[in-house]
């Protein structure tokens, strides 16, 4: 199944689940975005547009890009009439971003980097598209999350933390990753690749999982589950 089909196939189910912007990881992501009115923002792998719409409410000009046209259809349908409109663009952020250099004050990616197969390609485009004082903010499943309580960890069940590969989760509660899979990369790979593309880490947050996890998934809740990172352009 090609990468477009992976997400088109789950678009209807995925879009039916509302993302609560107050959940710890999403709130942490939005906090470190530090959006101000007038910012020009690109939301990479925007899905059905939850983060893009929330950022637009701050008065920013927002473009959402995703590889799934079906997800973008849902995003457009969910935008409130007469509200802060988001412009949605269909495209592969790792190969051919149709934007000029130095175009955005902020590029954000909410749980998208591990879904994107070509990390070098997307970070190259992020660096090119950011303005000199721009920032790149992303959230991912913590690369060190081992999994427990029927939740799959970051790395493949049949492998180890050191095995970097694309795989499909088998945990009963990891329903989306069962269907579309994800790329496991070590924490050092993310840090080093960001640096290689001229992006220096400015802020790191490790939000706790939702409070309900302490009851429903107590072993998983004791582990690092989420990672939120803000990067600035490396000074030259």
Q: 228: helix, coil or strand?
A: strand
Whether 9 maps to a domain, the answer reads yes
pLDDT the model gives residue 4: 52
pLDDT the model gives residue 105: 96
Report how far Cα 6 is from the mean position of its chain's Cα atoms: 16
CATH at 135: 3.40.50.150
pLDDT the model gives residue 1: 45
Whether 62 maps to a domain, the answer reads yes
Q: Any idea what DSSP says for residue 217?
A: S
Whether 172 maps to a domain, the answer reads no
pLDDT the model gives residue 177: 76
Q: Which domain holds residue 94?
A: 3-143+186-233
Whether 27 maps to a domain, the answer reads yes
Pairing type for strands 147-148 and 130-141 reads unpaired
- The stretches of the chain forming alpha helices (DSSP H) are 3-8, 11-15, 24-33, 50-56, 69-78, 119-129, 175-180, 187-196, 213-216, 218-221
Report, as ranges of residue numbers, the positions in the chain whose pLDDT lies below 70.
1-19, 81-84, 96, 236
Whether 89 maps to a domain, the answer reads yes
pLDDT tens digits along 100-157: 888 999 999 999 999 899 999 999 999 999 999 999 999 999 999 999 989 999 999 9
Whether 213 maps to a domain, the answer reads yes
Nearest to 38 by CA among 62, 21, 18: 62
Contact 89/46 with Cβ under 8 angstroms?
no
How far is 67 from 43, CA to CA, in rounded Å? 12
Quote the number of domains for the chain: 1
Report the predicted TM-score, pTM, of the whole model to 2 decimal places: 0.92
């Amino acid at each position: 199944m090609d990468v477009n089909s992976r997400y088109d196939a789950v678009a209807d189910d995925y879009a039916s689940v509302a993302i609560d912007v107050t959940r710890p990881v999403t709130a942490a992501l939005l906090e470190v975005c530090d959006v101000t009115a007038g910012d020009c923002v690109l939301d990479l792998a925007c899905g059905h547009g939850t983060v893009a719409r929330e950022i637009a409410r701050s008065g920013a000009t927002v473009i959402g890009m995703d590889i799934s046209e079906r997800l973008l259809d849902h995003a457009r349908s969910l935008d409130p009439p007469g509200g802060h409109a988001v412009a949605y663009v269909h495209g592969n952020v790792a190969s051919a971003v149709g934007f000029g250099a130095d175009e955005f004050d902020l590029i954000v990616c909410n749980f998208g980097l591990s879904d994107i197969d070509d990390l070098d390609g997307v970070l190259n485009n992020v660096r090119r598209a950011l303005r000199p004082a721009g920032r790149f903010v992303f959230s991912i499943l913590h690369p060190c999350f081992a999994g427990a309580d029927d939740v799959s960890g970051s790395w493949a069940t049949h492998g180890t933390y050191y095995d970097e590969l694309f795989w499909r989760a088998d945990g009963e509660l990891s329903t989306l990753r069962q269907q579309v899979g994800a790329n496991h990369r070590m924490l050092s790979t993310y840090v080093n690749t960001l640096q290689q593309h001229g992006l220096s880490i400015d802020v790191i947050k490790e939000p706790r999982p939702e409070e309900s996890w302490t009851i429903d998934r107590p072993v998983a809740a004791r582990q690092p589950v989420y990672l939120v990172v803000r990067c600035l352009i490396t000074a030259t």
